[in-house]
Structure 1
């Protein structure tokens, strides 16, 4: 990671996180070539047209590339102090110069929120091409906890949710939420690697997951929570939650698909249990990021469209 910053007499005026993506990067959702290819295959607006204007080998055309706005998926942006004119344009110009100086083949913001009109306008003005890349999701947490959450669904959906909760409970699965314990990290890493492998990220390793979880524990301390599902004492699922004031961020997850035997553990662990746990602490929202849109909206999440913006000489 490389951070571009702009300061003035009042201190920090703006900042932009950047990372170089190349063909060795295993996180496919953070690479412009794989994001563009997937979106074109899915028929997302603007992706097919943009991909059609590039060589067939998107990796060769776009990598190595400078990915801006942070590694997280959704709402990638730059930091800009309110009322500080010109900061965003200067930071973006610095990023473009950095890419040119290092011989990078593209500059990309992969998930700019539809409501981030200032950044979207700036990127368009500077010649970036855009396409619909994803949808970002979050769930408002009612103060009344799970009962109030469930009351917001139709009678049919409430019955289904109740049946899902009973199935998990009757199977003997125990779910708790507590600060992340270093002793659980190796098992969590195995489970996340299994999940990512299921979705095509075969190059991902448990060692990478363990390093990220260990870093989260060091950086966040007690604000790194683990929602953990156990069956007969064995961990069969987890979700890492990062807490910031009254906001919870679902950061990582993993499951033992064989051990859960078709149980609706994903919904119980990531939604029903988390709503209960978050409400008890006074949290007001759980952020779920991108991906699995239908599943998230079916469980009450709100969403906003995300757009990728791409600058590359290959499009000239």
Structure 2
């Protein structure tokens, strides 16, 4: 195996990188290209190639000088963990830095995957030692990758962070999705869709590149409606940058009244999944016709069936509405590699127990399915 570290994906073919992503948009070349634009961080990509120079593994390593999101700041996520005195005010984050859905990108069927992960970790730890405080944080990993990384964690237990949601799309049509669920789910979905149809909206499906400016004020309006900071100019710049970086992967599902767009969902499409990324609505008017579910769930599902994708990725948070519409729930974890510190296993277990109790309460009966032996070892 040959290991290389580069500072941009510009020289890495998108098809080669996407072969490592497992169909996840948040591990894709397009999303990495967008994250490279962040002025508050720089990036190193650790690439591993086999004897035939085929790319078999790779991971982005972000050197973050200023982190605006508490969801990606280890000091705020884990206040009980010891923090080493830093000679450089910089945090090292490994893997997708936005989207709350991380993985260790390797080509499918890689026979020596565990050894390749070890090599990735060694390279990441070297970057962390040279560029920051010697610690590297791997956040929002799926459970199987968290388990694979655990042998290399720096004397600390994995930390439970969140629960991810996705809806499997069996068969070849939306009716097949309905048929796969319970009678309560079918009743809920049909009620949603009947309410939306009765509201008399016209609908569209457009490339993100053609309408990023139109959806920006709607996303800002929805965030403001939920009490989140949302400067319209900032949102507009964000949407423009995302559109330019992700190019033809973005698709917008929108509803219109009186010839004006009033609701939208930005989705991203891979060969395997459709990801609902952002929802927007003009909250100067009522939103009482299941617009959220029509645009964020059902129309992206129908689009996924047309393109052959097999799941709708919905992300973290608001678990019960997703579960009621057929979503499966997957736990997400954070681990640290590099410099070993005196982490308190009791504090880690207390963190995991408290987080699990909260998540399990949100999941209801779905918590039993989401629990696992890996979770048990961390409690």
- TM bucket (normalised to shorter chain) is 0.7 to 0.9
Q: What is aligned with 2:310?
A: 284
- Once the two structures are TM-superposed, the CA of residue 287 in structure 1 deviates from its matched residue by 1.8
The verdict on how the C-alpha distance between 1:172 and 1:16 changes in structure 2, with shifts beyond 3 A counting, is same
Q: 1:188 aligns with which of 198, 201, 215?
A: 215
| CA displacement, residues 105-145 of structure 1 (integer Å, 9 cap, x when unaligned) | 74211111112265333333x42432111122221223352
Answering whether residue 163 of structure 2 is matched by residue 135 of structure 1, we say yes
Give the drift of 1:86: 3.2
Partner of 1:169: 197
Question: 1:193 Cα deviation (Å)?
Answer: 3.4
Deviation at 1:170, TM superposition (A): 1.9
Matched, 1:295 2:324: no
Q: CA deviation at 1:243?
A: 1.7
Q: Deviations 1:130-180 (Å, cap 9, x if unpaired)?
A: 211112222122335232323344444433332222222222223322322
Deviations 1:21-68 (A, max 9, x none): 34x4334433323444xxxxxxxxxxxxxx43447xx9x9x9631111
Q: Which runs of 5+ in 1 are unaligned?
A: 37-50
Q: SS at the partner of 1:273? A: helix
Whether contact under 8 Å (2:267, 2:278) holds in the other structure is yes
Question: CA separation in 2, counterparts of 1:133 and 1:230?
Answer: 37
Given candidates 44, 59, 73, the residue that maps to 1:31 is 73
The equivalent position to 2:117 in structure 1, one of 88, 94, 102, is 88
2:331 aligns to what?
305
Q: Is the 8 A contact 2:155 2:340 kept in 1?
A: no
CA contact (8 A) 2:170 2:180 kept: no
Runs of 4+ in 1 over 6 A off after TM superposition: none
Q: Is the 8 A contact 1:74 1:135 kept in 2?
A: no
Q: Which protein is richer in strand relative to its size?
A: 1
Work out the CA distance in 2 between the residues paired with 1:168 and 1:122. Answer: 50
Retained in 1: the 8 A contact 2:274–2:311?
yes
Alpha-carbon displacement from aligned partner over 1:228-249 (angstroms, at most 9, x marks no partner): 1222222222222222224222
Deviation at 1:264, TM superposition (A): 2.0
| Higher alpha-carbon deviation: 12-21 or 254-263 | 254-263
Give the secondary structure class of the aligned counterpart of 2:284: helix
For structure 2, list consecutive stretches of 5 or more residues without a partner in the other structure.
Answer: 1-42, 344-379
* Secondary structure at 1:296 match in 2: helix
CA–CA distance in structure 2, aligned partners of residues 75 and 123 of structure 1: 20
Aligned residue in 2 for 1:238:
264
Aligned length: 294
Give RMSD over aligned pairs: 3.2
Q: How far did residue 293 of structure 1 move?
A: 2.0
**Cα distance in 1 for residues equivalent to 2:324 and 2:94:** 31
Q: Secondary structure at the match of 1:172?
A: coil
Secondary structure of the residue that 1:166 maps to in structure 2?
A: helix
Aligned to 1:268: 294
User: 1:105-184 maps to which residues of 2 (within 5 A)?
Assistant: 106-116=135-145, 119-124=148-153, 126-182=154-210, 184=211
